[in-house]
Chain A
Amino acid sequence: MQTSLTGRRALVWLVVVLLLFIGISYILAPDTPEEYPDFVSESPSPTGVKAFYTYLDNEQGSVERWTHAPELLSDQNDNQLLIMAGPSFTPDTEQMEAYMSFLGSGNTILLMKTNPDGMFNIETTPVQGVTGSVTTSNGDTYQAELNSMVRIDSNNHDNVLLHDNAGAIAVERRFENGRLITTVAPEWITNGNILEQDHLELILSLIEPANTGWDTVYFDEYVHGSGNAPGIAALYPNWLLALGLQTILFAVIWLWYQGKRFGPIHEPREETVRFSDERIQALAAWYQGSRRYADSLSIQADYVKLLMQERWGIRYHKDWSDVKEDLERKVSSDWEIETFINGLTHVLNQKRLSKKTYVSWSKKIDQLRKEVEEG
């Protein structure tokens, strides 16, 4: 009871300290600059396009941000321009169709994307060796920064507006009454780059020549909103998604069914078993380690002598050489007592023995032991 009370008190203190910490860090933390996504028309950061937006707003007046789904774009030919600067995702099929129908009714879209492959059926090819000089269809040359590693594949119907030695950089394509202008250089329009080199001229050359006055210019902000990107669900068929959801739910129930504890907690513990031969094993290891083979042999010989005294009445204190006759009477005939005893006395007198002699003599003595014990 007391432990739970102190535990609760400790918990309260923990919460209080945590809150205090959060509060202090909130007050003390420096104001970090607001983060904007790239190519957003409200963004004053170097990656934003607020500069160009403000410029057009001042020049043209009717500039707006388009934050709704493309299905809501008007299908009327209102001489509108939609600038899609650096879309952060590729719209799905339905949205693409909505854009197409916006184009088809006579409006214009300026698509600026490093690799526009996959939008509006545009295809690109990867290239190398970019020079930085851009040529217009009129043959004028401009200097510009080019980060894109692809160029647009232009077909016969396309009107190449800008190109360099690697290929087409900006292409105009007709969709029924409307026009799609695609460029692989969205970096020209950003706040940080628009006044560098000849970027502004190039952008204006893309939107100005066809029409000097737009009724409305839209900056497409819908394609910058991360929430508008098609979810992962659009990739898979419905049944697979249903299967996935049901599998997850089933896994949860199954884990619950399997994993709920039932019964006491048994902590694993060490079991120790003591064997009665630990003493002889330790002694044997010590004898073996210090190579006391001669000692071991004399122990075995002594033991056999003891057995001989117990079984046959041959006196234990007699020397090996003296028991020859007694042995000859007792041991079966095929045993060569003479050589055995001579060899044994020789071996017992030696101080150092090889492993091999030790094992072979141990075996011989053991044979005699068997003879005494069993024979």
Chain B
Amino acid sequence: MKSLKNLWERLLFRDRGILPGKRLLVLFLIFSFGAVVLAALSSVSWTWLPVMNGLLFLISLLDLWLSPKRKELSFKRELPDELERDMTYSIQIEVVNASDKSCDLRLIDGLPQSFRAPFPLTGTVKARGNSVLSYQVQAPVRGQYEVDKLFIRYKSNFGLWTKQLTVQMEHHVKVIPDLTETKQYLNSPQQFLLYEGSKIRKQRAETGEFAQIRNYVVGDDPRKINWRQTAKLQEIMTNEYEPEHGKYVTILIDCSRMMGAELKKGNRLEKALEAALTTAAAALKNGDYVAVLAFSKEIQRFVPPAKGMNHLQQILQAIYNVKVEATEANYSAAINYLSTVLKKRSLILLFSDVHSFLHEESALHHLRRLRQRHLFMMIGIEDEELLARTKQALDNTKTAMVKSIAQQQLHFKKREKANWEKQGLSMIEANEEHLATAAVSQYIRIMNEGLL
């Protein structure tokens, strides 16, 4: 069957071959009109018309023969190895024309199906010259992709025919999560945390290790004035402390069914990944150790704890390709796994769906044990859909039912959340746009308060 398909493709000269140009169509129309008029006015013999048609084609083929050869064109594609999801990138294709005729090109790059780019690309390459064509591409779905073929069509000298060729150029592209928020954080943490900015300054006076001596400003704790330096410099100086470094932060990412729910932009898993990476970046920048675990029914990825900004790259490479699984999350398995691999006391941040987490009964039991050694916190994305459903207008039985069920779920969630918090397990829900900010500020709060 496959060989038959190949034969058929070969018969049709797929991705290769020639095709008539628009000008040939116009020329042929004019010729046909003339031939019909001639046939109407005078009686011509029957061999005449086919011969004239044949001649027309032969002459047009001359144009094809004189156009640049396929071998005289060469192509080179410049493509970044990593594309961030939904970001726009410019991809360059360099075309070198070795022939002594200029040629008009049209290109289609063999990008994966999910990529978005405006094709075909048009351009002209001068005789014995080169030119760079570029196009904008967006990749909305994370994953590892292969870009290989480049499809090219170019016109003959008079545009009667078009030649087609395909160039094989293999590139491997990774589509990684959107790192805008991570970069924003790394550039200016204060700016990034403006949304919840007050929390960053809340710091218990005696915690942390000595960082530096600086000028006293209004609002600083007068108990921290460094009198020795003040006397030396004739200026009021104060000691500054910062939280201890070298703490352990473990980020758990749930990849189960409910994390596939669509949000305004992307789905829950995308948001959770972005927030996880930003939190990891924040922790690594502070000099902490970061470990990452992605799980659904089973453990999917685990990055053991390490520190330094290089580790962010390692984390990214490990988790960029995680997909939403069709199964339910197995929290117990993830917690059990963690308790075997984590040797030191650690902050455990779980990104998951609050509802499925609350419905899991065995998780509470495991978490109680985990809490004895580690600090646990769960971060979920607020379900705006549910909130809207509890308030929607009702006009028939169906909407009334949906509404009452939404209210029941919300009620259940509030009750369970209170119950969990009573046990000392904190759980926050953040708006989808502010998930990363909320996660980072929670992390900073915990570090500042010296809870670890």
Contacts and interface: CB of A to CB of B under 8 A. Distances in A.
Partners in one complex: yes
Interface of A: 3-4, 6-8, 10-11, 237-239, 241-243, 245-247, 249-250, 253-254, 256-257, 260-264, 266-267, 269, 273-281, 283-285, 287-288, 293, 296-297, 299-300, 302-303, 306, 355, 358-359, 362-363, 366, 373
Contacts of B267: 274
| B interface: dominant SS | helix
Contacts, number: 174
B411 interface: yes
B407 interface: yes
A303 B409 contact: no
Interface of B: 2-3, 6-7, 12, 14-15, 17, 19-22, 24-25, 28-29, 31-32, 35-40, 43-44, 49-50, 53, 106, 108, 110-111, 113, 119-120, 149, 151, 153, 164, 257-258, 260-262, 267-268, 324, 355, 383, 385-386, 389-391, 393-398, 400-411, 414
B230 to A, nearest CB: 51
Nearest to B400: A362
Contact of A238 (B39, B106, B390): B39
A242 B39 contact: yes
A246 B153 contact: no
Contact of B120 (A262, A269, A283, A297): A262
Contacts of A306: 411, 414
A359 B394 contact: yes
Nearest to A282: B405
A372 B24 CA distance: 76
A267 B113 CA distance: 8
Contacts of A278: 261
Contact of A296 (B260, B385, B400): B400
A277 B402 CA distance: 9
Given A256-B19, A280-B386, A306-B414, A287 B401 contact: yes
B28 A280 contact: no
Given A11-B3, A256-B19, A296-B401, A237 B40 contact: yes
A267 B390 CA distance: 41
Contact of B110 (A6, A264, A274): A264
Nearest to B259: A274
B22 A362 contact: no
17 contacts: A3-B3, A11-B3, A239-B37, A243-B36, A246-B32, A246-B35, A250-B32, A260-B19, A274-B262, A275-B261, A275-B262, A276-B385, A287-B405, A288-B397, A296-B400, A303-B411, A366-B394
A306 to B, nearest CB: 6
Nearest to B410: A303
A-B interface, 8 closest residue pairs, ranked by CB to CB distance from nearest: A7-B3, A239-B40, A246-B32, A276-B261, A242-B39, A303-B407, A263-B108, A284-B401
B36 A242 contact: yes
Nearest to B9: A261
A362 B398 CA distance: 11
B406 A249 contact: no
A280 B151 contact: no
B21 to A, nearest CB: 8
Nearest to A247: B32
A186 to B, nearest CB: 34
Given A249-B53, A257-B25, A239 B151 contact: no
A21 to B, nearest CB: 19
Nearest to A243: B36
B408 A299 contact: yes
B91 to A, nearest CB: 15
B402 A284 contact: yes
A254 B120 CA distance: 20
A363 B394 contact: yes
B49 A245 contact: yes
B389 to A, nearest CB: 6
Contact of A359 (B258, B390, B400): B400
Contacts of A11: 3, 7
